[in-house]
A and B are shown apart, each in its own frame.
Chain A
Amino acid sequence: GAGVSQTPSNKVTEKGKYVELRCDPISGHTALYWYRQSLGQGPEFLIYFQGTGAADDSGLPNDRFFAVRPEGSVSTLKIQRTERGDSAVYLCASSGRGQGSYNEQFFGPGTRLTVL
């Protein structure tokens, strides 16, 4: 079956611009996660959705970052007034089984964001 998809695969933008990154989770998965991965680092947690609501947004670095999941499926990560330090690969993952907040996660291919 289809896995997690993310669009675009690459995004180049200028400092100060607004960007939106999209994630399509595996059908039926209720949990959706956003991570940010810099070169040589592990994924850094940003936000976790259970259904339509953000169950934990404590990883968002500041108020320039915002994410939505209005219908409990597709999610969009929005970054305002981008800065060069925002450059990274943004990974989305979804999960659909097991107890607790974090279980087997299926990752998408990521969006590589470059802020010039």
Chain B
Amino acid sequence: GQQVMQIPQYQHVQEGEDFTTYCNSSTTLSNIQWYKQRPGGHPVFLIQLVKSGEVKKQKRLTFQFGEAKKNSSLHITATQTTDVGTYFCAGVMWENRDDKIIFGKGTRLHILP
């Protein structure tokens, strides 16, 4: 079946360093969403990307959607302890005459003080 792969699975960074997580789909996506889940919490919506090559920024977070609409990335500049959590991408794809949503396994971010 269709898959959404996310790498890396884990990332440890020193506070102040940058962080990037990548998401790759086996098929073209209608849109891609990013969510953050704090330890013990539930996923919280960050952003949705729809257009090919789209780039969106939220303060220290930069989201990109690839030209082929098969990959995406989330980059955090100068990480802070509040950035700790698991970041999930969720790809929406057209399958069997309907939209389907598939979450990646997530990238767990640890911040070293």
Contacts and interface: CB of A to CB of B under 8 A. Distances in A.
Interface residues of B, number: 24
A43 B92 CA distance: 14
A109 interface: yes
Given A43-B103, A107-B42, A109-B41, 12 more contacts: A35-B103, A42-B88, A42-B103, A42-B105, A100-B31, A101-B92, A101-B99, A102-B31, A102-B33, A102-B90, A107-B44, A109-B42
Nearest to B44: A107
Interface residues on A, range: 20 to 34
Overall SS of chain B's interface: strand
Interface in B30-84: 30-31, 33, 35, 41-45, 48
Given A104-B45, A107-B44, A56 B106 contact: no
